Structure 1
Amino acid sequence: MKKQAGFTLIELVIVIIILGILAVTAAPKFLNLQDDARTSTLKGVEGSLNSAGAMVYSKAVLKGKDKESSAYDLDLGNGKKVSTLFGYPVAASAALTAVVELNANDWVFAAPSGANPASIQIFPNGVSTGSPTCYVTYTEATSTAVPLVVTKACN
């Protein structure tokens, strides 16, 4: 009679349990879905800021206010005004929420100290404003440069 080789049922169950435990502990590190979702949202805000800036600049050109070196309140219509500098929105939460309509419950604005030209950082609510990642920086326009919008991905 041949001797049967193989695993017993108990050995098989123990291996499956161990693999399950490993999968549960390792999966969140490989599937960092929350940070990916936040980064995608920040990229959307970056795109919105760039598009809105271009539209505000177009309106400023039509009004002849695209060379203004001091803040100018540009009428967007529908009773909305935005402060502009060189035709683009200034780096202030009021100006950016007016053109992009960011919900104050979802976003936190923080101005980095000593930034020249002026800039503002936009963090998703729930992320520390001192975080080295997970924010969008909007740097306002100068006489020689358009506004710079940069996203720092979440990790």
Structure 2
Amino acid sequence: MKGTKGFTIVELVIVVVVLGILATAGTYYTTRSVDNARNAVVKETYNQLQRSTALVHVLAISEGQTAAKGTIDMDGDTLGLAYGYPSATVSKGNTKGIDYLVGVNLEDWNVKASGHKVTLAPKAVSAATAKTCTITYTAATSRQKAAVSIPNPLVCS
């Protein structure tokens, strides 16, 4: 069989190894891109919540709504207030909450209100990761203004 042409087993093994290396590198970079994108979405949502909270506060002051409880009209819907800042609620019907201010889709985010806090976490992260990938809104009290926070470092992978 001296005249047969083809690949030797060594050549085939080398090709398979090179393809394996390329596939591993591609998977790594794709995974990192998804993680970076998720971090960027959480950071932008955090920034949007900070801006929205400040704008609502200015609107509440202009309407004289700085008491312990109040409301303002937001395009025909009602937003509850606590000391001139958004109250720590989640939207129900025409009464809007923190999720409304940042425009999050409840199909993509876990939004939970508990006491004077609302937490927002992407549904795409595991329960263990959610602790390092959560936005927390703390409603204003008579002693402090409302606050928005994220973990440092923010890890959503």
TM-score of the pair, normalised by structure 1:
0.74
Q: Distance in 2 between matches of 1:111 and 1:128?
A: 19
Q: Is the contact made by 1:106 and 1:125 (CA closer than 8 Å) also made in structure 2?
A: yes
Q: Is the contact made by 2:140 and 2:146 (CA closer than 8 Å) also made in structure 1?
A: yes
Could you tell me which residue of structure 1 aligns to residue 35 of structure 2? 35
Give the C-alpha shift of residue 49 in structure 1.
Answer: 0.5
Q: Distance in 1 between matches of 2:55 and 2:137?
A: 16
Could you tell me which residue of structure 2 aligns to residue 46 of structure 1? 46
Q: Distance in 2 between matches of 1:96 and 1:62?
A: 20
Residue in structure 2 matching 1:102, options 95, 101, 104: 104
Q: Distance in 1 between matches of 2:63 and 2:142?
A: 18
Q: Flag structure 1 segments of 5+ consecutive residues without an equivalent.
A: 1-7
Q: Distance in 2 between matches of 1:128 and 1:83?
A: 31
Q: Distance in 2 between matches of 1:147 and 1:81?
A: 19
CA deviation digits over 1:32-53, x for unaligned, max 9? 2222211111111111111111
Could you tell me which residue of structure 2 aligns to residue 74 of structure 1? 72
Give the C-alpha shift of residue 102 in structure 1.
Answer: 2.0
Q: Distance in 1 between matches of 2:76 and 2:12?
A: 68
Q: Distance in 2 between matches of 1:146 and 1:14?
A: 65
TM-score of the pair, normalised by structure 2:
0.73
What are the within-5 Å matches in structure 2 for residues 4-153 of structure 1?
Answer: 11=10, 13-31=12-30, 32-66=32-66, 68=67, 70-76=68-74, 78-94=75-91, 95-111=97-113, 118-128=116-126, 131-151=130-150, 152-153=154-155
Could you tell me which residue of structure 2 aligns to residue 4 of structure 1? none
Q: Distance in 2 between matches of 1:93 and 1:153?
A: 25
Q: Distance in 1 between matches of 2:127 and 2:76?
A: 32
Q: Flag structure 2 segments of 5+ consecutive residues without an equivalent.
A: 1-6, 92-96
Give the C-alpha shift of residue 111 in structure 1.
Answer: 3.9
Aligned residues: CA RMSD = 2.6
Decide whether aligned partners of structure 1 residues 99 and 138 sit closer, same or farther in structure 2, where only a CA change above 3 A counts. same
Aligned length: 141
Q: Secondary structure at the match of 2:119?
A: strand
